[in-house]
């Protein structure tokens, strides 16, 4: 189900269903736009010809900030619709580092990079070069967020560095300062790369 926005915005708002720490979308047009065109979400197939899109919390916040999602509290249309702030509060119950992760995710998207979920073990995001297709291309960077009050253990950094090295990807440590500005460090070169373009030719896919 979709609803038309005001005349200034030609986009439509898509109805989503909250299921714990994710949101499910079934609208075929929205699946085409979000997944196939913008590479947002994960496809799930209930039947051979029936698709639905599963969005994680940072993807939900992105689409909410862009005024693209209609999500009713308790999935009850008689209740209010979640706004961005209330969605952030809701999903933060599942992930208390969500805001910092979202700042990093949103910044990478604004820079034009394709961002997908990571491997776990602290690797939060996989980042692809601009214009890539995540279904056929390999990620170029692995993003390891570090949060205030949670220093990196050297053994963890060594383990993750080995994962990046074995997969021929560049490991980037990302943090967020007190003004909610993301800062990126290349582990290989130990140099800050904030506010500069990531060198996409340094590493093979």
Q: What is the mean pLDDT of residues 168-175?
A: 90
pLDDT tens string 95-142? 999 999 999 999 999 999 999 998 877 889 999 988 888 788 889 999
What local confidence, expressed as pLDDT, does residue 196 receive? 45
53 falls in which pLDDT band (50, 70, 90)?
Answer: very high
Question: What pLDDT does 98 receive?
Answer: 96
Which domains, and CATH codes, for the chain? Answer: 2-92 (3.40.1170.20), 98-192 (3.40.1350.10)
Question: Is pLDDT above 60 for 20?
Answer: yes
Contact call for residues 94 and 21 (beta carbons, < 8 A): yes
Check whether 36 has a pLDDT greater than 50.
yes
Q: Which pLDDT band holds residue 199 (cuts at 50, 70, 90)?
A: low
Q: Where does the pLDDT of residue 188 fall: very low under 50, low under 70, confident under 90, or very high at 90 and above? A: low
């Amino acid at each position: 189900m979709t609803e038309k926005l005001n005349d200034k915005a030609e986009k439509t708002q898509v109805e989503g269903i909250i299921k714990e720490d994710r949101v499910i979308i079934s609208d075929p047009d929205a699946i085409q736009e979000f997944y196939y065109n913008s590479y947002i979400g994960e496809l799930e197939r209930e039947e051979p010809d029936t698709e639905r899109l599963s969005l994680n919390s940072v993807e939900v916040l992105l689409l909410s900030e862009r005024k693209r999602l209609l999500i009713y509290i308790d999935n009850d249309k008689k209740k209010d619709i979640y706004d961005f702030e209330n969605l952030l509060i809701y999903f933060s119950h599942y992930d208390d580092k969500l805001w910092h992760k979202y700042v990093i995710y949103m910044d990478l998207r604004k820079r034009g990079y394709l961002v997908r979920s990571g491997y776990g073990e602290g690797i939060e995001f996989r980042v692809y070069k601009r214009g890539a297709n995540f279904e056929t291309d390999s990620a170029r960077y692995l993003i390891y967020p570090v949060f205030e009050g949670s220093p990196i253990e050297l053994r963890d950094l060594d383990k993750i560095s080995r994962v990046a090295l074995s997969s021929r990807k560049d490991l980037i440590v990302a943090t967020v300062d007190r003004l909610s500005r993301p800062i990126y460090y290349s582990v290989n070169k130990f140099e800050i790369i904030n506010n500069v373009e990531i060198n996409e030719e340094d590493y093979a896919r």
